[in-house]
Amino acid sequence: MTERRLELLDAISDLFRDTDDVDRLLQKIGTLASKLARAEGSSILIFSEDRSHLYFKVSRGKTAPILRRIPVSDGVAWWVAQNGRPALVNDVESDPRFTGTIDKITGFKTRNLLCVPIKLEGKVIGVLEVVNKLGEEGFTKEDLQLLSMLSSQAAIALRNAERMEEYRNFFSNSIEIFVKAIETVGVMANMMFPGHCWRVALISTLIGQMMDVEGEELYYGAVLHDIGILEYKELGWEFGSEDPWENAKQHPIWGANIVKEIKMLSSAVPIIRHHHENYDGTGYPDGLKGDEIPLGARIVSVAERYEELLLKAPISGKGRSEVIERIKGMAGKELDPKVVEIFISEVLRGR
C-alpha cells in the first residue's frame, strides 16, 4: 500500500470522529482531496432537486464565493454526473467535454482536472473534482483511485445528512401533532384556549432567554407541558363528569410518564411534571417549594398564568395592566418572584 493510501485511510477514520455537521465534513473531504491529489483546488458539486443542474456545495480558494452562485449544466463535471463515470483530463484544451464556462466567469485557468461521481445506492448525486495538479505532471490513475475512495465517504456524509433531515422533519411534525391533540382535548375540557401550548412556549422561551436557560429543553417542556391530559380518557374521566379537576391534577404526572419514554425529550420531563407546583409549596403534584422546583417549570408557570389571565381579561388596555398587577401579587406565593420580575421588567417592557 502506498504512503498516500495509508494517509487517506488515516484521514478517513478521523473524518467522522469530531463532527456530524455535513457542511464541515464535506469541507474536510474537499481539503483532503486537494491534499492527496496534490491539486491546486477542489470542489464538490451536487445535483439540484430537479436534477437540471449541479451547484457547488464545497469549493475552495478565491473564486469560491462566485462559484457558489453558478449553476453548472455543461463541461466535464456535468458529463461525469450524467454518465456516472470518472474523467481524468490532463489536457483540457484537447478534451471536447471541457467547455471553459466556469473559467470564463471566474477568471481561473484550468490546466487539468480529475472528476469522480458521488453515488448513493447506484444513483449519481454529485461529483468530487480536483483541478490543476501541482508540478509539471498531470493527474494519475492512483489519484483517481484515491479520489473515488473519498467520494464514497462524501456519499456517506450526504446520506447521513439526508437521514438527519428526515428525522428532524419527523420530529418537528410529531411535536405539532402532539400539540394539536393536547389542544383538542384541552379546549373540549375547557382547560385552555386554542393556541395555549404555542403561546406558553413562546412566552417561556422569551423569559428563558433573559435568564440564560437552555432553549430547547425549555421550549419542549413548555409546548408539551399539558400532554398528560391525553391520558384522561384512559383513566375513565369523561367530559362533564362531576369532579374533573381532581382527576385533572394528575396530568403533570401522566405527562411526565408519557414523555420520559422519548429519549430526545427526556430533559423536558421535570418541566412537565412540575409546571403546577407553587413557589410557596402549595401546588401539585409533589408540593415542591422555591428552588426545589426546576427553573424551567417555574418559568412555564409564570408564562401560563399570564396567558390564562390575559385571555380571560376584558379586551381593553386596562385588562392587561390588571393582569400584570395580579401576576405581581402572585410573586412569592404561587410564582417565583425572580421569574416574575424578569418577565415584567425584561419581557413585557416595550411590548
Nearest alpha carbon to residue 90 among 64, 66, 114: 114
Q: How far is the CB of 310 from Fe ion (least distance, A)?
A: 14
Could you tell me which stretch among 33-41, 84-92, 224-232, 266-274 binds Fe ion (CB under 5 A)? 224-232
Q: Which window, 143-151, 154-162, 225-233, 277-285, contacts Fe ion (CB under 5 A)?
A: 225-233
Residue nearest to Fe ion (CB): 226
Determine the Cα–Cα distance for residues 106 and 100; give it in Å rounded to an integer. 10
Query: Cell 458529463, residue?
Result: 79
Nearer to Fe ion, 153 or 301 (CB): 301
* Residue span binding Fe ion (CB under 5 A) among the ranges 67-75, 138-146, 220-228, 341-349: 220-228
Toward Fe ion, which CB reaches closer, 55 or 284? 284
Minimum CB distance to Fe ion smaller for 60 or for 249: 249
- Cα dihedral 303→308→314→315 (10° resolution): 50
User: Could you tell me which of 189, 128, 181 has the C-alpha nearest to residue 153?
Assistant: 128
How many residues contact Fe ion, by CB under 5 A?
2
Q: Residues 6 or more apart from 9 whose CB is under 8 A from it?
A: none
Nearer to Fe ion, 143 or 226 (CB): 226
When asked if residue 334 is in the footprint of Fe ion (CB under 5 A), the reply is no
Provide the minimum distance between the beta carbon of 84 and Fe ion in the complex, in angstroms, as a whole number.
Answer: 55
- Strand segments (E) across 78-218: 87-89, 113-120, 123-133
Q: How far is CA 52 from CA 58, 78, 116, 318, in A?
A: 19, 10, 19, 59
How far is 289 from 54, CA to CA, in rounded Å? Answer: 60
Report the alpha-carbon distance of residue 241 to residue 56 in Å, rounded. 63
C-beta of 196: minimal distance to Fe ion in Å?
Answer: 6
Q: What is the DSSP string of 294-349?
A: -HHHHHHHHHHHHHHHHHHS-SSHHHHHHHHHHHHHHBTTTB-HHHHHHIIIIIST
| Cβ closest to Fe ion, residue 113 vs residue 269 | 269
Give me the least distance between CB of 276 and Fe ion, in Å please.
6
- The least CB distance from residue 319 to Fe ion, in Å, is 20
Cβ pair 7, 36 in contact under 8 A: yes
158-197: contacts with Fe ion (CB under 5 A) = none
φ, ψ of residue 124 to 5 degrees: the values are -75, 130
Contacts of 77 by beta carbon, 8 Å cutoff, 6+ apart? 45, 54, 115, 127, 129
Smallest gap, in angstroms, from Cβ of residue 304 to Fe ion?
5
Q: How far is the CB of 225 from Fe ion (least distance, A)?
A: 6
Site string (270-309) toward Fe ion, x via CB under 5 A: ----------------------------------x-----
Least CB distance to Fe ion at residue 197 (A): 7
Q: Kindly state the helix (H) or strand (E) to which residue 41 belongs, with its residue range.
A: strand 39-47
Among 40, 226, 231, 307, binds Fe ion (CB under 5 A): 226
Q: Taking the complex as a whole, how short is the minimal distance between the CB of residue 308 and Fe ion, in angstroms?
A: 8
Binding window for Fe ion (CB under 5 A); candidates: 56-64, 102-110, 219-227, 317-325: 219-227
Nearer to Fe ion, 133 or 199 (CB): 199
Residues lying near Fe ion in the complex (CB under 5 A): 226, 304
